[in-house]
Structures are given as structure tokens and as C-alpha cells.
């Protein structure tokens, strides 16, 4: 099933004589990834002087290049009318505030009711993009800001920014333990060797770096501001657990409930009732994929997490007043 097609053309510069066709094509059409351009060469949608050639074939310089941009259906999920909190929207990108509890991608346990289904309802043309334009993800029970590409060039540009660590991603996390300072977790992450649901710090893992600083310190917990330098699965959750300061409410990495001595009834209720990881993607900043202008969006802290922080703050104030 095919979507729209668009014919583009260019001329091979004389200075490219002798170089591979795929390398020259990537320079002529930088809006598209090398893998997609290579697929279009192999399918005959990218031609040199009207001829089908191989990716490795050399160019002479001066040839006409034609590229038929064919956008096939990449995402076969059904559109669903699910409300979205849109923070920014233009013809190239969406930025949304994802609520906790919303799964990003359909899967075996969640074939419907996901962010992908909601996006396809809002913009049906997203079915021509990989993962409906989603270039990074948040865990089901992590709330906050996400960017979604609406065109293939925007998708390519955002993926490149993420891979080159040019996207600013700032999170809020409530962790166990009263930290005295911020720091950096620089520990590689890979799938857990025995539990396939979990990730773990492993020597053979992928490079993973999280910077964190104190936003507010309580008696036995800390509100942290975390900045991702890399974007591994469960990265902040794994790093904080590795540092022995797991995120409050984290069902995979959090450990048993810990209450400070003499905790207020408000705090006891807030901690016992918080059933998701206390993690919120607060700020996302990136260069607009077309204009290059900075786009900065922030998502307000959700009510459940604000209530938890308020209870922690009130407990600390009460303890100080009581001399505890």
C-alpha cells in the first residue's frame, strides 16, 4: 500500500567524479537518511541519467539525478480519538505532553489505546513515517514532553540531533535518600542478563550518561533535576538505582517503601499511594528541523507528582519545627 510520491532532481557536481553514487546522493538530498536513500537506489526510485545503478557505482560528474520520494505505509495501527495535550504544533513537528499511563507504541500487551493510535487520528499522514513520527520515547508511567516528526525530512533531522546529543532533555525525579550534592552517572547500560524486562548497568553495555542536580532536599528523599546526555531505555531509572537512590514508586528498580522517622500522615499516604515512577520529562529543547530556530517546550508537573513533592516539603517543615 503506497502513499504519496514526489519527484526531486539534482545534478552531480563535477567535483564528485569517481565517488560512489550512494555517497553523492546523501549529499544531494540530506533530508533523507542514508538507509532510506539506499533502499530507493535499490528499488529504482533513485536514478542516474535515467538509469538504475547500484549504490557503489561511481559517478562521472554532471549527470542528472532523479529521486522519486515514495512514502509507503510504515505504521499500520488504527487511528483512535484519544485526547492529546499539544504544546507546540507546526507543519513539521508536534510537541506533546504525554500523561502517565499512556503507552507510546502498540505491542503485544497494548495493541490499541497508545500514543501512536492517537497521533494517527490527529494526522493520518503520519502512517507514512517510521513509528508514526516518534523519534524518542517515554516509558508508559513517565509523564512529560515529547517531540514527534510530521515529515520524513523532519524525522531524519530530529534523529540526527538526538544521536549527536544536541537535544536538551530535562527531567524531574523524586528519589530515595537525602543527597548532599548533584553529580553525573556515567555507567553503560544493556539488557539485564536474566530478566529481559529490566535494563542494568553492565561493562559491555552502551554508553550512558545522566547529569543530575538538587532541586529540593527533604528528610529522606530528594527532588532531582536530571539531564540526559544519552537516551538509553530506562536510563534515569537504572542510573539512580545503581547509585542506591532509586526513583520513588518505581516498580522495576525502586525497592521497598521507605518512610522517614515520624513521617506526617500526609506523607505516609502520598508515598504509599504513589504507584508509578516519580519521573517527569519537564523540558525539551531542539533546533527546529527546517528553520533551525530553537524550540523549547516545558510540560507542567502533573498533579500526582506535585502532591508528592508538597507532602515531602510539608513533612520536612514539620520535622524542623518539632526539632526532629
Cα 203 from Cα 7, distance rounded (Å): 48
Distance of CA 42 to the CA centre of its chain: 31
Could you tell me which of 270, 254, 249, 283 has the C-alpha nearest to residue 313? 270
> Which own/partner contact pairs does 40-43 have at CB distance under 8 Å and 24+ positions apart?
40/67, 40/68, 40/69, 40/70, 43/70
Looking only at the bridges linking them, the beta strands covering 143-149 and 279-287 are parallel
Per the listing, cell 525530512 goes with: 153
Say whether 195 is catalytic. Answer: no
* Catalytic residue of the set 31, 45, 123, 139: 139
CA distances from 203 to 115, 186, 207, 231, 310 (A): 34, 11, 10, 17, 38
d(CA 215, CA 218): 10
Backbone phi, psi, residue 294, to 5° = -65, 135
Residues belonging to the active site: 139
Amino acid at each position: 500500500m503506497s502513499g504519496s510520491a514526489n519527484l526531486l532532481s539534482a545534478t552531480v557536481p563535477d567535483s564528485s567524479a569517481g565517488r560512489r553514487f550512494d555517497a553523492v546522493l546523501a549529499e544531494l538530498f540530506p533530508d533523507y537518511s542514508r538507509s532510506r536513500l539506499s533502499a530507493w537506489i535499490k528499488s529504482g526510485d533513485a536514478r542516474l541519467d535515467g538509469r538504475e545503478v547500484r549504490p557503489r557505482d561511481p559517478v562521472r560528474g554532471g549527470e542528472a539525478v532523479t529521486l522519486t520520494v515514495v512514502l509507503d505505509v510504515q505504521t499500520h495501527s488504527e487511528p483512535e480519538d484519544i485526547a492529546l495535550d499539544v504544546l507546540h504544533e507546526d507543519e513539521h513537528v508536534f510537541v506533546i505532553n504525554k500523561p502517565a499511563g499512556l503507552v507510546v507504541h502498540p505491542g503485544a500487551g497494548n495493541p490499541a489505546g497508545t500514543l501512536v493510535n492517537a497521533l494517527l487520528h490527529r494526522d493520518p499522514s503520519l502512517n507514512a513515517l517510521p513509528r508514526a513520527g516518534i523519534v524518542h520515547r517515554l516509558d508508559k508511567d513517565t509523564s512529560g514532553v515529547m517531540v514527534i516528526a510530521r515529515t520524513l525530512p523532519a524525522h531524519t533531522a530530529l534523529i540526527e540531533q538526538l544521536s549527536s546529543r544536541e537535544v536538551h532533555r530535562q527531567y524531574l525525579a523524586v528519589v530515595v535518600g537525602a543527597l548532599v550534592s548533584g553529580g553525573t552517572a556515567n555507567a553503560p547500560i544493556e539488557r539485564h542478563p536474566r530478566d529481559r524486562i529490566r535494563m542494568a548497568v553492565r561493562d559491555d553495555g552502551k554508553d550512558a550518561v545522566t547529569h543530575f542536580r538538587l532541586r529540593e532536599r527533604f528528610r529522606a528523599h530528594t527532588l532531582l533535576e536530571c539531564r540526559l546526555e544519552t537516551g538509553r531505555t530506562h536510563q534515569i531509572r537504572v542510573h539512580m538505582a545503581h547509585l542506591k537512590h532509586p526513583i520513588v514508586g518505581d516498580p522495576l528498580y525502586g525497592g521497598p517503601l521507605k518512610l522517614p522517622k515520624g513521617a506526617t500522615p500526609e506523607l505516609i499516604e502520598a508515598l504509599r499511594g504513589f504507584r508509578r515512577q516519580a519521573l517527569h520529562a519537564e523540558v525539551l529543547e531542539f533546533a527546529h528541523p527546517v528553520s533551525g530556530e530553537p524550540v523549547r517546550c516545558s510540560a507542567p508537573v502533573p498533579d500526582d507528582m506535585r502532591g508528592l513533592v508538597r507532602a515531602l516539603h510539608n513533612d520536612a517543615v514539620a520535622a524542623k519545627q518539632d526539632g526532629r
